[in-house]
């Protein structure tokens, strides 16, 4: 970044993978940023340590049971401690210049919407917010005049590739996918996948839930829904291409048949840096891209028979209404059950599909409707998993 102006920053999900990467970048550029608020789900010790290191004004723990611990750890500081979902929203309303929305799941919806209402800049790493309530999110951002910057490597790549034109000139968007750790496995072999195997992504260092989503390719389905909201060119003009090396992060083809792509090493700090410094650029210590060393880039169409999550997501967009929220909620519960050994790997998408087919909620008109759809879908999924266990 240029100049001496300091940007106030709030990070929701500070102890997670994206939050940690964001703070790593701020450590490299301490003169340009000041921390307003940091939040975490339940790790009070890690949150307090970060809040003290970065001299945050506010530290919020989502888990109320950890409030006393957090308060005690911050007792000798000027940092305010708070806890619970309402405190997350209050922190978002502090209106930081730049907010990282990286809380996993629908728990991130309310604080993300609150941050957007401030009319400042929100960097979005929470897939589920756009998947479950995409229309509402985009309307809120537009109404408040907020800037919404995508942080997912694929959507950030599209955003960067659009700097060479505008959305009205776009013919096609291609989301690239690594294919996950089981790209070459048969369906029979995939039936034996363990949680340990599923969380071992070949290219990216991610949390357990996101890693499993990558292994089922549900993450690409969720990203398809995200792209549909962020880049309104029509669902039929957004495609997915498997690219095992994860070097080309996404591509934009324009009406003149020029295709622009963003390339980089598979390091989440690169797209985060793009959003953190936007509209400028910042120096990082990320590994440079060495194409000669990589030698070859491969591409293939996704196999939707072995990875049906992509088709599930595409159908969810087409059905509209509350179906994307059902997809997201059912997947979260099914993935959690897989990680605890209660369902098998291939059962994750089977359960999601069955939940989507099991009922049709009324068209959601506001956020309370989205939360009710989310609640019911979770309850139905948990009940179905109990039946599977029996």
Kindly report the CATH number assigned to the domain that includes residue 324.
1.10.1740.10
Q: Of all residues in the chain, what percent carry a pLDDT higher than 90?
A: 82
- Mean local confidence (pLDDT), 70-92: 96
Q: Does 31 share its domain with 138?
A: yes
Residues 183 and 63 in one domain: no
Report helix, strand or coil for 262: strand
- Residues 321 and 134: their CA atoms lie apart, in Å, by 11
> Do both 296 and 160 map to the same domain?
yes
Phi, psi of 124 (to 5 degrees): -100, 115
Q: Are residues 14 and 138 in the same domain?
A: yes
Give the domain extent around 116: 7-150
Same domain, 17 and 106: yes
Please check whether residues 139 and 163 belong to one and the same domain.
no
Same domain, yes or no, for 236 and 344?
A: no
Query: Is position 281 within any domain?
Result: no
Rounded alpha-carbon distances, angstroms, from residue 23 to 9, 35, 38, 107, 270: 10, 10, 10, 21, 13
Q: How far apart are CA 365 and CA 387, in angstroms?
A: 32
More confident residue, 197 or 202: 197
Q: How many domains does the chain have?
A: 3
Q: Closest Cα partner for 36 from 18, 17, 51, 49? A: 51
Average pLDDT, whole number, for the chain?
A: 92
Question: Last residue of a domain, which of 150, 171, 191?
Answer: 150
The reply to whether 229 and 335 lie within a common domain is no
In a domain, 239, yes or no: yes
> 333 Cβ partners below 8 Å, 6+ apart?
377, 378, 381, 382, 385
pTM of the full structure = 0.89
Whole-angstrom distance, CA of residue 148 vs CA of residue 161? 16
Question: Is 279 domain-assigned?
Answer: no
**Strand pairing category for 80-83 and 7-12:** unpaired
Sequential DSSP letters for 68-135: HHHHHHTTTSS-EEEESHHHHHHHHTT--SEEEE---SGGGHHHHHHHHHTTSEEEE--HHHHHHHHH
- Please identify, among 102, 134, 150, the residue that sits at the C-terminal boundary of a domain: 150
243 plus 325 within the same structural domain: no
Bridge partners (DSSP) of residue 35 are 9
**Residues 331-390: tens digit of each pLDDT:** 999 999 999 999 999 999 999 999 999 988 888 888 899 999 999 999 999 999 998 765
Q: Is residue 26 part of a domain?
A: yes
Residues 105 and 228 in one domain: no
Task: Kindly state the average pLDDT of the residues 175-202.
Answer: 90
| CA atoms of 24 and 181, how far apart (whole Å) | 27
215-224 pLDDT per residue, tens: 999 999 999 9
Indicate whether 248 belongs to any domain.
yes
CA distance 180 to 312: 18
In a domain, 286, yes or no: no
For 5-14, 198-207, 250-259, 362-371, which range has the lowest pLDDT when averaged over its residues?
198-207
Choose one of 150, 184, 199: the last residue of a domain.
150
Residues 46 and 71 in one domain: yes
User: Do 137 and 168 have their domain in common?
Assistant: no
For 257, the token pair is: 């048949």
89 in any annotated domain = yes
Q: Is residue 273 part of a domain?
A: no
């Amino acid at each position: 970044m240029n100049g001496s102006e300091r940007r106030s920053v709030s990070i929701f999900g500070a102890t997670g993978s994206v939050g940690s990467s964001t703070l790593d970048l701020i450590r490299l550029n301490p003169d340009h940023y000041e921390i307003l608020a940091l939040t975490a789900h339940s790790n009070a010790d890690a949150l307090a340590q970060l809040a003290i290191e970065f001299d945050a004004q506010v530290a919020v723990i989502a888990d109320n049971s950890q409030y006393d611990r957090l308060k005690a750890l911050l007792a000798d500081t000027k940092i305010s401690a708070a806890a619970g979902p309402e405190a997350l929203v209050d922190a978002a309303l502090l209106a930081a210049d730049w907010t990282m929305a990286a809380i996993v799941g629908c728990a991130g919806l309310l604080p993300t919407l609150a941050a957007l209402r401030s009319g400042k800049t929100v960097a979005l790493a929470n897939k589920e917010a756009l998947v479950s309530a995409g229309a509402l999110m985009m309307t809120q951002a537009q109404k408040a005049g907020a800037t919404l910057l995508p942080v997912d490597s694929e959507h950030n790549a599209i955003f960067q590739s659009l700097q060479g034109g505008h959305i009205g000139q776009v013919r096609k968007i291609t989301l690239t996918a690594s294919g996950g750790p089981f790209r070459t496995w048969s369906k029979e072999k995939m039936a034996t996948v363990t949680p340990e195997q599923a969380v071992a992504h070949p290219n990216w260092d991610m949390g357990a839930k996101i890693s499993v989503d990558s292994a089922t390719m549900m993450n690409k389905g969720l990203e398809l829904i995200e792209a549909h909201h962020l880049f309104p060119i029509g669902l039929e003009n957004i495609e997915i291409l498997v690219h095992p090396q994860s070097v080309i992060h996404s591509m934009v083809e324009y009406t003149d048949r020029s295709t622009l792509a963003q390339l980089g090493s598979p390091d989440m700090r690169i797209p985060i840096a793009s959003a953190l410094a936007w509209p400028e650029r910042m120096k990082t210590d990320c590994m440079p891209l060495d194409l000669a060393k990589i030698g070859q880039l491969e591409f293939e169409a996704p196999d939707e028979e072995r990875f049906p999550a992509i088709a599930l997501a595409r159908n969810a967009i087409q059905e509209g209404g509350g179906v994307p929220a059902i997809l997201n909620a059912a997947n979260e519960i099914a993935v959690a059950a897989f990680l605890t050994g209660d369902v098998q790997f291939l059962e994750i998408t089977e359960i999601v599909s069955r939940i989507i087919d099991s009922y049709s909620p009324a068209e959601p008109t506001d956020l309370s409707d989205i939360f009710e759809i989310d609640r019911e879908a979770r309850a139905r999924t948990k009940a179905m998993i109990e039946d599977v266990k029996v």
